[in-house]
Each structure stands twice: as C-alpha cells, then as structure tokens.
Amino acid sequence: MRLTCPHCGERPHDEFAYRGDATLRRPDPAAPADPEAEHSFVYLRDNPVAGHREHWLHAFGCRTLLVVTRDPATHAIRSIELAAP
C-alpha cells in the first residue's frame, strides 16, 4: 500500500501510523454530560463500504496527520489531505 503525503510524496505504508476513523468528533466538553455520545466516540465504529475517511500519521516522515479517504473494498485511495491545514 502506498500513500502520497502532501509534504513528502509517495511513500510505502510502513512509514505511516494508522490512527483510525477520521470522522469522529469528540463530544463538546462544555455540553452537559452525554454518556451515549462518549461511548459512541470511544467505542463505536462504522465500516462503510462506500469509502472510509481515516487518520494516518506520517510517523517516519514529516509527522503530519493526514486524512486519507480509502475504498475499503479495493483499497483505492480517493484523496489525501492534511488533518490540520
């Protein structure tokens, strides 16, 4: 598997650390406690066949966190962007 880092170019997956679902939003700490939302944030994950947005950190490179949109059926990479532009 190859990922094209916006900073470093095309690199083998060995250089990256997988950090899971990139669509998760951490519940607002200022909002009233919502155990369901917290549970969902920590434990519940979707596995959409249509395409998965996931975090990959270029650990052996520029240390940038990337949002990779990948087709889980074919492993085709649809897009790669910076998580914190």
47 binds another protein, rule: CB under 8 A: no
* Dihedral, 12, 17, 20, 21 alpha carbons, nearest 10: -60
Interface pick for another protein out of 40, 44, 51, 63 (rule CB under 8 A): 63
> Shortest gap between Cβ of 7 and another protein (angstroms)?
13
9 binds another protein, rule: CB under 8 A: no
77 binds another protein, rule: CB under 8 A: yes
Interface pick for another protein out of 29, 32, 36, 49 (rule CB under 8 A): 29
The 8-class DSSP code of residue 63 comes to: -
> Shortest gap between Cβ of 32 and another protein (angstroms)?
11
- Chain centre distance of CA 65: 8
Distances (CA, A) of 74 to 15, 37, 48, 60, 77: 21, 31, 13, 25, 9
27 binds another protein, rule: CB under 8 A: yes
